A and B are shown apart, each in its own frame.
Chain A
Amino acid sequence: MSNILDIKELSVAYHTEDGTVYALNNIDLELEDGETLGLVGETGAGKTTLAKSIMRLLPVPPAKIEYGDIIFSGENITDMDDEEIRAIRGNKISMIFQDPMSALNPVLTVGEQIKEAILAHNNISEDEAWSKSLEMLETVGITKNRARDYPHQFSGGMKQRVVIAMALACNPQILLADEPTTALDVTIQAQVLAMMRGLKEKFNTATILITHDLGIVAQMCEKVAIIYAGEIVEVGNVHDIFKNTAHPYTKGLLEAIPSIYADCKRLKPIDGLMPDPTIRHEGCAFSERCIYCDDICIHNQPPAVQSVGTDHKVRCWKPLCSTLS
């Protein structure tokens, strides 16, 4: 299968009055057609910045793509002008936002909003667009007769369904889901995820699922990328990441999940905080918190992502399962 999205050495910085924030550093990422990639990392790691760079939704200024390319089916998104990127947004690449409560326009009915998304990219009549938007509502499990209701008349889970319907209205090739279930409670979360999975199979949309919930990743994704302090520290298929964990940070994340089998009284957190993103670190970004940290880690950048197995890459001086390579 071919790569539908190729991100090469992407670096994004926010130039603020208080200094430059290096949000993304040398991100390399590939997404295949129809694949689901989980993007995992803690708050502030740069997950949303990455998604917004792909959509070119970053506020410019202060944000700036310093260098690197985002190649979407042969075209470089970073070079596009406003007109070209608008033709892609919502049409070829669309995004689901974190908080469905605020992602819908309160003064438009939900049917109208989906219609807007359809009309933005298809040269069809209002009536056709309306019937298509009703169809989309049915697809996400909302009955037609609620199309003329306003967002405040829906519950959180229903709103997220509407947001998903909006995102999928033009049958995009890539769907960026930015923590689609973080704002929902667990039962609704399960419903929405099951629905997303069904829709993904139906439309064969490549998905980047941004989350900090490894449970969701295990359930939904084929491939996982772990992001830390604006760098991708480990990427591989979901089985490798969970079983042959190579990066100490990934290991830390996995150990921080409470197990229902093991009889442990306390969670095992990763000590420390993420490094200050305004300071360019000399060595490995994770070195301060890493229990395997050595002199080489503190003073030298870890080698650019190296393979430790098929399709399994890690950016570390001392990968935990280097023997596999």
Chain B
Amino acid sequence: MINMFSRKIGKERLNRVRSPLEQAASQFKKNKMAVIGLVIIIVLFAVAFFTIIIDFVTNDYIYNNYVINQNLVLRLAPPSASHIFGCDEFGRDLFMRILWGTKYSLFIGIGAILLAMFIGMPIGMVAGYYGGRTDNVIMRLMDVILAVPSMLLAMAIIAALGTSTVNLLIAMSVANIARFSRIARASVMTVKDNEFIEAARAIGANDMEILVKYIFPNAFSPNLVQFTLGIGNSILLVAGLSYLGLGVQPPSPEWGGNPYNSKNIYEGRMAYFSISRYVSCYICRRFQYAWRRAEGCNGSQAEKVGSEFIV
């Protein structure tokens, strides 16, 4: 009787088909580093969203009074219970500035990479799929972009277009387009010679259908890896540009702008700003490591990919 009962349970368990999402979730849960990475990313996003919501609800009251409001009494105040990171040379609370700066780094970083992926990937896919002269023309153009270091290119574009958040986004995505198109091209070239592509052609599919339905889903994962790598890089790039005064304009509290404002005064306390950036870059790196693990790489392979990204 007991035996029968347990067999029945076993059978039910076998019959229950797990959806791909459930399978991914259970894989993800097994990887502790991935879970930690995800938690930190969620915290960062939560901070970014809450600052936006608070600004919206209070009609920028907190932003105006605590983030950009200058209070010379508190100029260069050391860390204390009310200002845990201390204050900058204009008496603004640094902790608040870091919190409010999260959204710039996060959303400009992700936005620029998303834009670059949406533009670069189709270009690369077309180049890889058609090959020959099309490929040559497109990829040589991309080589021109790649020939200039992304920081310099972004600076040049901002210098030409003028400093604004939108121009910053454009400049950073242009600097990343070539990377995505190269990767997309390479992965399309490995996929397009598969027999199922020929089979798709044999059922009468046209080039567009083949690219979108047959090649894209099979060639996407390297781009996803590049995407996760790129977010970390572009957060650094935003910070770097802001530091040079070409990114988010003061008094907006961007992470790179903070050390720029105070670079002459704060020698010792630079660490605070750097740490916030290091933490977020490290998180991105963990996330992408976890992603690789979830994709089925073993630990050292995943670590290898992660280490390409220099924090």
Contacts and interface: CB of A to CB of B under 8 A. Distances in A.
A102 B204 contact: no
B205 interface: yes
Interface in B205-235: 205-206, 209, 213-214, 217-218
Contacts of A166: 199, 203
A239 B166 CA distance: 77
Contacts of A117: 203-204
A105 B202 CA distance: 13
Contact of B204 (A107, A120, A163): A120
A91 B198 contact: no
Interface stretch (A16-24, A82-90, A271-279): A82-90
A106 B194 CA distance: 11
Interface residues of B, number: 17
Nearest to B201: A57
Contacts of A169: 203
B61 interface: no
21 contacts: A57-B201, A57-B202, A86-B204, A90-B202, A90-B205, A91-B204, A94-B203, A97-B198, A98-B195, A102-B194, A103-B199, A104-B196, A105-B213, A105-B218, A107-B217, A108-B213, A108-B214, A116-B209, A117-B204, A120-B203, A163-B199
Q: Which of B199, B201, B209 has the most CB of A within 10 A?
A: B199
Contacts of B213: 105, 108, 116
Contacts of B200: 105, 116
Nearest to B215: A105
Contact of B199 (A86, A87, A104): A104
Contact of A103 (B196, B206, B218): B196
B218 A89 contact: no
A99 interface: yes
A55 interface: yes
A180 B271 CA distance: 67
B195 A89 contact: no
Interface string B163-202: 0000000000000000000000000000000111011111
Interface string A52-63: 000101000000
Residue among B194, B201, B203, B213 with the highest chain A CB neighbour number at 10 A: B203
A293 B124 CA distance: 56
B194 A89 contact: no
Interface string A97-131: 11100111111100000001100110000000000
Interface of B: 194-196, 198-206, 209, 213-214, 217-218
A11 B206 CA distance: 27
| Contact residues of B: prevailing secondary structure | helix
Nearest to B203: A90
Interface of A: 55, 57, 86-91, 94-95, 97-99, 102-108, 116-117, 120-121, 163, 166-167, 169
A107 B209 CA distance: 14
Contacts of B201: 57, 89
Contacts of B195: 97-99, 102-103
A250 to B, nearest CB: 30
B131 to A, nearest CB: 11
A97 B199 contact: yes
A158 to B, nearest CB: 16
B205 to A, nearest CB: 6
Given A106-B218, A116-B213, A89 B202 contact: yes
A97 to B, nearest CB: 6
Contacts of B194: 102
Nearest to A112: B213
Contacts of A57: 198, 201-202
Contacts of A55: 202
A312 to B, nearest CB: 32
A75 to B, nearest CB: 16
A121 B198 CA distance: 17
A120 B202 CA distance: 11
A121 B218 CA distance: 24
The 8 closest A-B pairs by CB, nearest first: A90-B203, A90-B204, A117-B203, A107-B217, A102-B195, A89-B204, A120-B204, A95-B202
Given A95-B202, A107-B218, 13 more contacts: A86-B206, A89-B203, A89-B204, A91-B204, A97-B198, A102-B194, A105-B213, A105-B214, A105-B218, A108-B217, A120-B205, A166-B203, A167-B203
Contacts of B199: 95, 97, 103-104, 163, 166
A117 B204 CA distance: 7
A87 B196 contact: no
A94 B202 contact: yes
A252 to B, nearest CB: 31
Nearest to A86: B204
A102 B217 CA distance: 15
Contacts of B202: 55, 57, 89-90, 94-95, 97, 167
